[in-house]
Amino acid sequence: MREPGEIKRAPRVDTRFDTTLIDSDGNTVSVVVIDISREGCRMETEGTLKIGENVQIKVPKYGTFPAQIRWALGNEAGAVFLEPVFVA
């Protein structure tokens, strides 16, 4: 059972893969996805990602997915996919 104030979210899978993010200006940014779920992901980057920015995240073997940066702190950021991601 959820506690009051607890946010329900899909289970996240620990992972580590290098990929590319395309920002709203069309620039590519190298990122490392460190966890992922069907709703979003957490990544590390050397660049700066802007909270609220719409981006495209390339997921090897699965395609490119639209997402929005929800938080950024230091070299980490979290994104929510704008459509649920279902991969086999």
DSSP letter string over 21-33?
A: EE-TTS-EEEEEE
What is the CATH number for 66?
2.40.10.220
User: Looking at the domain assignment, is residue 86 inside a domain?
Assistant: no
Task: Check residue 84 and give its pLDDT.
Answer: 73
* Whole-number Å distance between alpha carbons of 85 and 46: 25
CA 63 to chain CA mean position, Å: 14
Number of domains in the chain: 1
User: Residue 33 domain-assigned?
Assistant: yes
Quick check: is 56 in a domain?
Answer: yes
Q: What does the pLDDT read at residue 14?
A: 77
Confirm whether 32 is domain-assigned: yes
Expressed as residue numbers, the domain containing 56 is: 13-81
Taking the C-alpha atoms of residue 28 and residue 13, their distance in angstroms, rounded to an integer, is 25
Would you state the structure tokens that stand for residue 30, as one six-digit string? Answer: 């190298």
pLDDT at residue 73, rounded to an integer: 94
CB 84 within 8 A of CB 36: no
Give the residues of the chain that fall short of pLDDT 70. 1-11, 13, 86-88
